[in-house]
Amino acid sequence: MPCADNNGVRIHYEVESEGPPLILVHGFLGSLNDWRRFGYVDRLKDHYQLVLIDARAHGASGKPHAISDYGRSLMASDVLAVMDSASIDRAHYWGYSMGGTIAFGLAKLAPDRFESMIVGAATHEAPPNATRMAEGLATGIEAFVTALEARGPLPPPTRAAFLANDAEALSACILALAQDNAPGNPEDFAMSCLAYAGEDDEGCARFLEMSTRMPHASFVALPGLNHITGLLRSDIVLPHVTAFLAKVAI
């Protein structure tokens, strides 16, 4: 099980196939298995070397409990540590939700290492409900996941994976992102960028406004999708992403 070490925090990752490198980073509560579970890997592996990363506090990566062990810059540096571990100098990057937030740190800290960025349902701003999420996690992971399902039912394997999370580590992670004054703004994206979100995502208008500030970005609003189904429905998302990647080949 390959891992990078970033100042003592283990960052688990997996590499699939060959081709131009494409880094994939999941959203809050998720893991690298989301990209497999929802069909992204099967559709992309014939064309790209996929580098799937478990963000710290998630999956098989380290789960420190201190807020100081999280934040956009630290989580961006985890991605760079994985790239170094896998001997990847330059790559495309795709992050969804929390993974998209990490893109803003990368665009500021290491723009020369990315050919393009794909930002799904994310902005550089603090999550507007971060404090409420942390309070919900304090009641236990099962209650938190049950409340999350008010947005829509989760596939049973996804629900089980969410329940396996460390609530204390997740709470530290979301609070750090909310308090983060680290660098990273839309104007930092020197590379080509695709931003997208479901039309029914409550943050869609914010994501669209953010994309207008990116120098080289396009935005796609996906009809009928919310924040959760914007990940689950790879059949709707992937045609836009693959068309974008075909234009920005390394």
Question: Looking at the domain assignment, is residue 90 inside a domain?
Answer: yes
Mean pLDDT check: name the lowest of 139-153, 164-178, 183-197, 231-245: 139-153
Residue, of 124 and 113, whose pLDDT is higher: 113
d(CA 30, CA 32): 7
Percent of the chain past pLDDT 70, that is, above it, reads 98
What does the pLDDT average to over 180-196? 86
What does the pLDDT average to over 213-241? 96
Question: Looking at the domain assignment, is residue 159 inside a domain?
Answer: no
- Please, what is the average pLDDT of the chain? 94
Collect all residues with Cβ–Cβ distance below 8 Å to 46 and sequence separation of at least 6: 17
Q: In b/e form, how buried is each residue of 51-73, taking b as 16+ CB within 10 angstroms?
A: bbbbbbbbbbbbbbeebebbbbb
pLDDT at residue number 181: 63
Provide the number of structural domains found in the chain.
1
Question: Looking at the domain assignment, is residue 86 inside a domain?
Answer: yes
Question: Looking at the domain assignment, is residue 172 inside a domain?
Answer: no
**C-beta separation of 18 from 46 below 8 A:** no
pLDDT at residue number 135: 85
pLDDT at residue number 250: 60
Mean pLDDT check: name the lowest of 98-107, 177-186, 210-219: 177-186
CATH number of the domain at 56, please: 3.40.50.1820
What does the pLDDT average to over 59-63? 98
pLDDT at residue number 245: 97
Q: Find the domain containing 10 and state its range.
A: 3-125+184-247
What does the pLDDT average to over 143-171? 90
Percent of the chain past pLDDT 90, that is, above it, reads 83
Beta pairing, strands 9-16 & 49-53: antiparallel
Question: Looking at the domain assignment, is residue 155 inside a domain?
Answer: no
What does the pLDDT average to over 185-189? 91
Question: Looking at the domain assignment, is residue 132 inside a domain?
Answer: no
pLDDT higher than threshold 80 for residue 184: no
pLDDT at residue number 129: 79
